[in-house]
């Protein structure tokens, strides 16, 4: 039985995990870099330990030090959150070898799904539709041009080991592809230690819709419906909602069944997400699998009443799921927006000292934040400083609630993307549910 968990992460997700642990009477150990020593989550945990300097390779990616702290504090388990080591198969194997439970899937499954090329092959085997593209690694720009002409432009050039939009670029011509290939491969090598590239046909007017799953160690799998994540900037999500306004009940059922089938085929356990691109005819295609908790998990929790972090811990404890698919129902509509310390026009990060920080409050308002007033946002990590989640009995009600909540948000001393979020959420196109992955480029950027 897990009695103490080390959280191998930072910011709002570390705070979120600590709250879930406290609810279950589980002791917590926080780790932090020198840049995060005054972060709120550090003081929420029962114990906190310095990892090292701000650079992630010397702190949040330092597997040996994290494991050493876990052993010294007698932690039974490690929760990796998202990002950093959350999808690192070697870290899971090191945890297991050290007798520490890794709260997530096995390293072998992570390894397979961590490579987008291997993941495509696995989904094909499971009978899940995939976007037309390359079956293996593309070695040179010349080979990429040849394949692109067979697939047909526009195409998405992608890093096999990529995430968060890194190493990804839409290209429309041979010249664009040649210029983009080397740069994206190099960037992927820098960020992920793997510069392997592949390509997929870009689906125009597509929606990014994902299915949340839970799978225990006894063969039981359920899906917690879908999240609509099409509002993105730089291929990274900024607005997520559940359920989707676009797909029918029939498509929802088909996507859920496809996700469950894929998970069972993989032998996957714990929480995970199958991401799909959905075209105008509601045909869906596998995009990728995230073998961890997602940033946007709160909207699913709001419409299902489930605590996904709590379920992760139960599954890691070897417990069977206490719910079946038929028990789950969609209740209302939830929307999440990511609050970034960034310029709302250029999307460039905006680190600095927060002089004023006032969160919106209300019955159906949920805040997941990583900062406080008089906090210094550093340039070392992702610029997301919080998430705002609202719930309404209908989507219209949720939108109205979200606009009011964003207007109440007060952050001074740094730039944030709140003006951008207000413009998007208050637009006629968003209110109509017309939210494809091209929304920001087509609707927001040209009018700035």
User: Which residues are designated catalytic?
Assistant: 292
The Cα–Cα gap between 202 and 304 comes to: 32
Nearest residue to 348 via CA among 395, 446, 417: 417
Structure tokens at 259: 């996700």
Could you tell me the strand order of the sheet in which 384-392 lies?
Answer: 284-290, 270-278, 207-215, 221-233, 236-242, 333-340, 384-392, 365-369
């Amino acid at each position: 039985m897990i009695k103490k968990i080390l959280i191998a992460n930072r910011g709002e997700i570390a705070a979120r995990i600590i709250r879930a642990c406290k609810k279950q009477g589980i002791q917590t150990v926080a780790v932090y870099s020198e840049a995060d020593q005054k972060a709120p989550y550090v003081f929420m945990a029962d114990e906190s330990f310095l990892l090292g300097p701000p650079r992630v390779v010397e702190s949040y990616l330092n597997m040996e030090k994290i494991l050493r702290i876990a052993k010294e504090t007698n932690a039974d388990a490690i929760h990796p959150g998202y990002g950093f080591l959350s999808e690192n198969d070697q870290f899971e194997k090191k945890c297991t070898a050290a007798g520490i439970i890794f709260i997530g899937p096995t390293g072998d499954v992570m390894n397979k799904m961590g490579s987008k090329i291997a993941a495509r092959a696995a989904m094909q085997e499971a009978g899940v539709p995939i976007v037309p593209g390359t079956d293996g690694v593309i070695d040179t720009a010349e080979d990429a041009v040849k394949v692109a002409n067979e697939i047909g432009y526009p195409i998405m050039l992608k890093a096999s080991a990529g995430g968060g939009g890194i190493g990804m670029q839409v290209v429309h011509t041979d010249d664009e592809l040649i210029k983009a290939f080397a740069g994206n491969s190099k960037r992927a090598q820098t960020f992920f230690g793997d510069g392997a590239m592949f390509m997929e046909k870009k689906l125009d007017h597509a929606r990014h819709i994902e299915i949340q799953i839970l799978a225990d160690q006894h063969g039981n799998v359920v899906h917690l419906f879908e999240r609509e994540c099409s509002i993105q900037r730089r291929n990274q999500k900024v607005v997520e909602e559940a359920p989707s306004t676009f797909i029918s009940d029939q498509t929802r059922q088909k996507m859920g069944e496809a996700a469950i089938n894929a998970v069972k085929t993989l032998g996957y356990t714990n929480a995970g997400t199958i991401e799909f691109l959905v075209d105008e005819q509601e045909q869906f295609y596998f995009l990728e699998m995230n073998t961890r908790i997602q940033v946007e998990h709160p909207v699913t929790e709001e419409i299902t009443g489930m605590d996904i972090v709590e379920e992760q811990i139960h599954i890691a404890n070897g417990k069977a799921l206490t719910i079946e698919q038929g028990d789950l129902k969609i209740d209302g509509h939830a929307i999440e927006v990511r609050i970034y310390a960034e310029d709302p026009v250029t999307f460039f990060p905006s680190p600095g000292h927060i002089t004023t920080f006032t969160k919106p409050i209300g019955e159906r308002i949920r805040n997941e934040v990583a900062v406080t007033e008089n906090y210094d946002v550093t340039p070392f990590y992702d610029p997301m400083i919080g998430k705002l989640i609202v719930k309404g009995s209908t989507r219209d009600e949720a939108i109205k609630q979200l606009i009011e909540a964003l207007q109440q948000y007060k952050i001074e001393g740094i730039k944030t993307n709140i003006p951008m979020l207000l413009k998007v959420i208050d637009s006629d196109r968003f209110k109509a549910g017309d939210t494809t992955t091209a929304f920001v480029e087509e609707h927001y950027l040209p009018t700035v």
